[in-house]
Structures are given as structure tokens and as C-alpha cells.
């Protein structure tokens, strides 16, 4: 076991190698360690799942609740540059010391030999074996430990993968939000939108409000809510919004919030996300009242890097973690809504287990020069794989290949003129590498 004051990087290296699988869905193992730790939050908890928009809804909830004066804990994933981004308390990233202390607590509970003695029928036959946790499971427990230690007044937890069997779902919560459903992680969640929706709906709770932020409601979302007795609130049914030129209005179950500023987060679908966040606040209004002033301030001040993020300067640089077909279509629409430019360079890198063809197809009409790069990760697609996808889809414009994302970005910066734009997309890895390279390339 690591020493108490090990560096955070040492802990992360340890967690990456401790469990034999990077992803292993299921709640039994994480529930054992949760019980040993005694992690039973007494503050309200909001859980946010969905295919796209989870990060935006979490960020808006965090911003509005913070503006209302609450001490907010927010757990999201993945991170872009530093692990600390995943755990925020009072809009401050958790420190290395706080995270290491929480990791130590989780490790002690995970390896405790008396863990199995608590309840033999629950823990199994081997009384001396330790409980194995994945990187994400370990981090989820540590985040809640931080929130309890720091006495937050409300916690927002973003689902990592799916919902029903995701580690976040081990915690009971007061409201669940599912933002949208599309095809992603099909090797774990199913081959159809209905199958994926069933997994996402696994975060619903008996008698609690379940918010669905997409106008196209899968049958399995309705069926699961009815089966367990959750109160299902769907966009365009129980709540909705109307958009004006400068402001927008939210219409809730029993109230209306009028003359709202557009969220600081850019993109065509952010009013869907903002409405889902406001519906969640409506569901918790008796426990967590939020004034109109706090809502307005929260929408104006919300920040979420890597989601249609426009970096100041010329040529325009746009960062977007879009890595599935729905997100790519949204990115394409957002680009269409921008003023026209002379030429668009696309720094494009993805993981090979994603739907590379559909993502590329969604952006095909927006790109003049494809700069295809490799990702230094085990699941990274090669430049040959990405190029073949583009050619197979009939791309006629230039397709250039680069060893790294940084190399591709360097080329774009050298070739693009003031009225051109550069988009970097396809993965969190892609955006993260661009962010690291920005200062070197003098883009900010």
C-alpha cells in the first residue's frame, strides 16, 4: 500500500494498474467498499447521465447552485489536463493533498481483511481477499469522501458510463437527469437507442423526479420510470423553453423563469441542457431554493472547457470533445451558425472503438483540409485507419497525416490565415493535447 503522503501522480499510476480491466461495470464491488467507508451523504445528491450534454448540465447546476450561496461538490469525468478537474468543491478543484487523503481512505477500506467478516453472505467465501476496484470506481468513492470531509451542501455526480451499473449509481440520490440518448459505448450498453436508454434509466429512483432532456423519448425511458414509480419529467412535455433573439424563457412544472440570459456555453443544444438543469432545480426547490438572480448569474458565469470552446485570437480556434455521431452533428450545426470563413482546417484524432465513419461524415461538409493525427493511447486510431474512413466516405478535399495532434496543430497554425478557422475534435485526448500545445504555439 502507498504511503500516506504519496504524490497524486503516484496514486494515479497505482490505480491504473491495480485492476485487471479498465472498465468493469457492476455495483457489487464498489458497494462493499462504500459500506466499509460509511459513505452515506446526508446532503442532496443530483446524478446526471446521458450520451451527450452531461458535462454541460453538471456545469450549469454547479454554477447556479454556487451563485445561490451553496457549498457545491461536483464530480465529473474524464479530465482534460489534470485529475483534480474531476473533483470540485465550492468551484475549486480539490487539492493533491485532499485527493491523496481520500485515496488513502478508500485503499484502507478496499484492502481491509475484516471486510468480508461483516456479512458473509454478501462478501463471499474468501474472507482474506481484497476488493478490486477500477480507476473510475476508486475515484468515485474518493470524490464522495472528499465531499463529506469538506461538508458540502449538495453534490452533483456525473455518470461515467451507462448508468445502471456505473459506480456513481451506488449512491442514493434526490434527482436524476438523463440528458440525451444516442449510439455510443455500444460494446457495453447495447446496439440500439432503446437498449442504451434502458441502461441510462437505471439511475432513476422510486418516487424521485427523473428529468429527461431530449424531445425524442425512448420507450424504455418511459417504461423504466413507470416500472419503478419515478416521476418522469420530459423536455417539451412537463417542461420546455422558448427562445428569443436576446433572451429565453423556461417553462417548468409549476413555474416560469422569464427573460433569462443565454448560457455562456456556446452551442445549439445548450438551451436543452439549461432547461434540464432548471428542471432538476425545480425538483429540489424545497431543499435547495434558487433565486432568479442566482439562475441568471449562474448561466452567465458557467464555464466548461472543450465544449465548442472558441479560443480568442485569429485565426479562430475551436475545441470540441465531440466523439460520437450526435455530438458531431451538434458540432456541425454550431459551425454552420458561425459567420462564414475562407477555409476550415480540421485537426482530427479519435479512439478506434468509436464510430469514426459517422463522426467524420457529420463534419464532411464543414471541412476544407483534414489534418489527421494519431493519439498516444492504447485505443487510439492510427492515421491510416482514420484516413481510410475519410476516403471511404468520398472526401475529395486534402487529407494530410501527422504523427501527433501537436504536429497537426502546428501545421494548421502555419497555414491558416486570419480569416480561416481551425477546429480540433474527436476525443478528450485530442482537445487535451491541443490545450497543452497552445502556449508553445502562441495561440493564447
Average pLDDT over residues 417-433: 95
Q: Are 239 and 215 in contact (CB under 8 A)?
A: no
pTM given for the model: 0.92
pLDDT at 395: 86
In this structure, the strands spanning 92-93 and 87-89 are antiparallel
Distance CA 44, CA 222 (A): 24
What the block records as the C-alpha cell of 391 is: 476516403
* Diameter of the chain measured on Cα atoms: 69
Q: What rounded mean pLDDT belongs to the chain?
A: 92
pLDDT at 184: 82
pLDDT at 6: 52
Residues 6+ apart with CB under 8 A from 244: none
pLDDT at 113: 40
Q: Which carries the bigger pLDDT value, residue 26 or residue 397?
A: 397
- pLDDT-derived band of residue 444, with 50, 70 and 90 as boundaries? very low
Q: Are 151 and 185 in contact (CB under 8 A)?
A: no
Q: Are 143 and 86 in contact (CB under 8 A)?
A: yes
- pLDDT-derived band of residue 111, with 50, 70 and 90 as boundaries? confident
| Percent of the chain residues past pLDDT 90, beyond the cut | 82
The per-residue pLDDT for range 187-220, each reduced to its tens digit, is 888 889 999 999 999 999 999 999 999 999 999 9
Domains of the chain, earliest start first: 8-301 (3.40.1190.10), 309-441 (3.90.190.20)
Q: Are 48 and 58 in contact (CB under 8 A)?
A: yes
Closest to 203 measured CA to CA, from 170, 248, 227? 170
Range of lowest pLDDT (5-19, 76-90, 225-239, 306-320): 5-19
* Residue 347 DSSP SS3: strand
> How big is the CA angle at 264 (ends 68 and 243), to the nearest 5 degrees?
95
First to last CA, the chain: 42
Number of Cβ within 10 Å of residue 265's Cβ equals 21
Q: Are 280 and 265 in contact (CB under 8 A)?
A: no
Closest to 38 measured CA to CA, from 106, 97, 95? 106
pLDDT at 233: 98
pLDDT at 439: 62
Evaluate if residue 317 carries a pLDDT over 50: yes
pLDDT at 3: 45
pLDDT at 295: 98
Q: Are 7 and 104 in contact (CB under 8 A)?
A: no
- pLDDT-derived band of residue 362, with 50, 70 and 90 as boundaries? very high
Evaluate if residue 323 carries a pLDDT over 70: yes
Based on its alpha-carbon atoms, the radius of gyration of the chain, rounded to whole angstroms, reads 22
Closest to 30 measured CA to CA, from 160, 209, 210? 160
Range of lowest pLDDT (172-176, 248-252, 317-321, 436-440): 436-440
Per DSSP, the residues of 49-99 read E-SSSHHHHHHHHHHHHHHTT--EEEE----SS-GGGGEEETTEEPPHHHH
Distance CA 263, CA 300 (A): 6
Q: Are 181 and 193 in contact (CB under 8 A)?
A: yes
- pLDDT-derived band of residue 441, with 50, 70 and 90 as boundaries? low
pLDDT at 361: 94
Q: Which carries the bigger pLDDT value, residue 220 or residue 4?
A: 220
Q: Tell me, what DSSP letter sits at residue 240? A: E
Amino acid at each position: 500500500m502507498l504511503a500516506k503522503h504519496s504524490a497524486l501522480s503516484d496514486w494515479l499510476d497505482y490505480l491504473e494498474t491495480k485492476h485487471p480491466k479498465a472498465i468493469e461495470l457492476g455495483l457489487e464491488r464498489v458497494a462493499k467498499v462504500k459500506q466499509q467507508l460509511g459513505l452515506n451523504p446526508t446532503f442532496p445528491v443530483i446524478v446526471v447521465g446521458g450520451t451527450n450534454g452531461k458535462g454541460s448540465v453538471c456545469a450549469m447546476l454547479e454554477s447556479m447552485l454556487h451563485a445561490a450561496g451553496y457549498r457545491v461538490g461536483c464530480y465529473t469525468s474524464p479530465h482534460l489536463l489534470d485529475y483534480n478537474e474531476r473533483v470540485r468543491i465550492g468551484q475549486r478543484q480539490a487539492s493533491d493533498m485532499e485527493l491523496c487523503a481520500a485515496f488513502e481512505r478508500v485503499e484502507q477500506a478496499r484492502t481491509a481483511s475484516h471486510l468480508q467478516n461483516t456479512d458473509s453472505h454478501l462478501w463471499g467465501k474468501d474472507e482474506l481477499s481484497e476488493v478490486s476496484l477500477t480507476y473510475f470506481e476508486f475515484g468515485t468513492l474518493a470524490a464522495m469522501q472528499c465531499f463529506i470531509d469538506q461538508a458540502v451542501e449538495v453534490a452533483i455526480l456525473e455518470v461515467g458510463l451507462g448508468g445502471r451499473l456505473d459506480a456513481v449509481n451506488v449512491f442514493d440520490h434526490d434527482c436524476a437527469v438523463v440528458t440525451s440518448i444516442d449510439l455510443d459505448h455500444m460494446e457495453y450498453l447495447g446496439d440500439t437507442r432503446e437498449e442504451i436508454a434502458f441502461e441510462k434509466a437505471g439511475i432513476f429512483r422510486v418516487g424521485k423526479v427523473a428529468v429527461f432532456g431530449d424531445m425524442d423519448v425512448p420507450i424504455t425511458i418511459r417504461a423504466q420510470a413507470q416500472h419503478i414509480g419515478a416521476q418522469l419529467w420530459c423536455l417539451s412535455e412537463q417542461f420546455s423553453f422558448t427562445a428569443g433573439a436576446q433572451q429565453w424563457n423556461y417553462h417548468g412544472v409549476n413555474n416560469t423563469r422569464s427573460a433569462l440570459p443565454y448560457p455562456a456555453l456556446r452551442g445549439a443544444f445548450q438551451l436543452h441542457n439549461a432547461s434540464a438543469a432548471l428542471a432538476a432545480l425545480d425538483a429540489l426547490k424545497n431543499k435547495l431554493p434558487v433565486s432568479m438572480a442566482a439562475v441568471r448569474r449562474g448561466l452567465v458565469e458557467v464555464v466548461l472547457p472543450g465544449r465548442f470552446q472558441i479560443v480568442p485570437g485569429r485565426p479562430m480556434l475551436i475545441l470540441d470533445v465531440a466523439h460520437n455521431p450526435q455530438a458531431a452533428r451538434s458540432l456541425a450545426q454550431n459551425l454552420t451558425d458561425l459567420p462564414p470563413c475562407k477555409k476550415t482546417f480540421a485537426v482530427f484524432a479519435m479512439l478506434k472503438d468509436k464510430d469514426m465513419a459517422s463522426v467524420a461524415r457529420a463534419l464532411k461538409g464543414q471541412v476544407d483540409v483534414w489534418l489527421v493525427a494519431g493519439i498516444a493511447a492504447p485505443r487510439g486510431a492510427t492515421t491510416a485507419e482514420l484516413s481510410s474512413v475519410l476516403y471511404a466516405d468520398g472526401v475529395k478535399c486534402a487529407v494530410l497525416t501527422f504523427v501527433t495532434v501537436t504536429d497537426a496543430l502546428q501545421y494548421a497554425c502555419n497555414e491558416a490565415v486570419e480569416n480561416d478557422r481551425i477546429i480540433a475534435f474527436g476525443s478528450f485526448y485530442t482537445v487535451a493535447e491541443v490545450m497543452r500545445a497552445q502556449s508553445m504555439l502562441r495561440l493564447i
